[in-house]
Amino acid sequence: MVTFLRGRLLSGAVTLIGVVVMVFFLARLTGSPIDLFFPEGGTEAQIRAFEQAYGLDQPLYKQFLIFLGNAAQGDFGDSIWQQRPAMEAALSEMPMTLALAGIAMVVSVVTAVILGSIAAAYRFRRPDRIITILSLIAGSVPVFWFAIVSILIFAIQLQWLPTSGSYSWKSWILPVATISLSPIGVLTQVVRGAMIDVLTSGYVRNARARGFGSLRLIFRHSLRNAALPIIAVAGDIAASKLNGAVIVSVVFAFPGIGRLIVGAIMARDFPVLQASIVLVGLAIITLNLLIDIIYMIVDPRVRLS
C-alpha cells in the first residue's frame, strides 16, 4: 500500500510538472499581456516598466527558470490584473469549484446508477426505452442553451429561483442541474451497458438460475462487477468538471476556477493561469488517486497491477 501510494504520488508529481511546463509555453504562444494593458499604445518607458514589473523583459528560458525557482518555493508571482498574488486568486475560487463539482458528481452518479440499473433490469422493454431516450437527450442538449432557457423559465418567468449569483442554496439549483445534465446522460448509458454486460455474463445467469430476483441481483452482485467502467467514466467527467464548468460559471456568474482560467487566458494573465493550473492539477491528481483506491476496494484484482 505504501509503495503503491508512493508510486502514485510520484507519477502525480510528474504529471503536474508536465502540465506546468506545457501551460507555461502554450500560454506564451498566444501573445503578450502588454497589448491589453496599453489599449491606446503606451510609451516606450511605460512598456519597459510594465515588462520589468512582471518579468516579461527576460528571455523566455530565463522567465521559465525564474518561474520554476519561485514556484518551488510556493511563489507564483502576482496577478497582472488583480493586484494580488496569483495563488491567492486561484485559491479563492477553489472551494466553490470543489463544492459544485462534488455535488454535481454525487447527483449524476446516484441518478445514473438508479436509472441505468432500472434500464438494465428492464432491458429492451418500455422503462429501458424511456430512460435510454431521456438520457440520450440529456447528453445532447447544448449546455449554454439549457442554462439560458432554465433562467428564462425558472428565474424570470416563474421567479422561483434566482437568475444568477451564489447567495443562498436556491442559487445552486440551476448550476448543479446544468452541469449534471450531460454527465447523467452519459453515465446512465455507461451504467446500463456495463450492467447488461454483467447481467448477461455466465455467473449471473447461474445466480439467476439459483433463484435470485432481478433487482436484488442487480444491487447485490452486478453493480460491483459493473463498477469499473462506471468509475472510469465518472472519474473523467469529474476531472473535466474541475477545470471545466466554464459556461455554467459564466452564465450564472457562479464562482469557479474554470472561469478564472478562461479569464486569465483571455487576459494573458500568465501568473494566475499557472497558479490555477497547478491547483487544478493537484485536485485532478488527488481525484485519480481516490479513483485508484476505489478501484482497489471494488476489485481486489487491481491491487496486483
CA atoms of 200 and 284, how far apart (whole Å): 34
Q: Phi and psi dihedrals of 137, rounded to 5?
A: -65, -45
Query: Could you tell me the smallest distance in angstroms from the CB atom of residue 28 to another protein?
Result: 10
Residues β-bridged to residue 78: 85
Footprint (CB under 8 A) of another protein, residues 109-138: 123-125, 129, 132-133, 136-137
Q: Which of 150, 97, 136, 102 is nearest to 258 (CA)?
A: 97
Contact indicator for 294, 234 with CB cutoff of 8 Å: no
**For another protein, the closer CB: 16 or 103:** 16
Q: What is the DSSP string of 5-37?
A: HHHHHHHHHHHHHHHHHHHHHHHHTT--THHHH
- Window contacting another protein (CB under 8 A); options: 58-66, 67-75, 162-170, 213-221: 162-170
Position of cell 478564472? 260
Q: Does 6 bind another protein (CB under 8 A)?
A: no
Query: Could you tell me the smallest distance in angstroms from the CB atom of residue 59 to another protein?
Result: 18
Query: Could you tell me the smallest distance in angstroms from the CB atom of residue 222 to another protein?
Result: 14
What are the cell numbers at 305? 497491477
Query: Could you tell me the smallest distance in angstroms from the CB atom of residue 290 to another protein?
Result: 14
Footprint (CB under 8 A) of another protein, residues 228-257: 228-229, 231-233, 235-236, 239-240, 243, 246-247, 250-253, 255
The contact mask relative to another protein for 173-212 (x = CB under 8 A, - = no) is ---------x--xx--xx--xx-xx--xx-----------
CA atoms of 183 and 237, how far apart (whole Å): 7
Contact indicator for 48, 37 with CB cutoff of 8 Å: no
Question: 155, 217, 238, 248: which one contacts another protein (CB under 8 A)?
Answer: 155
Question: 176, 184, 261, 275: which one contacts another protein (CB under 8 A)?
Answer: 261
Give the binding-site size for another protein (rule: CB under 8 A): 112
Question: 92, 293, 294, 296: which one contacts another protein (CB under 8 A)?
Answer: 92
Q: Which of 74, 22, 80 is nearest to 56 (CA)?
A: 80
The contact mask relative to another protein for 27-66 (x = CB under 8 A, - = no) is x-xxxx--xxxxxxxxx-xx-xxx-xx-------------
Per-residue DSSP letter, 85 = B
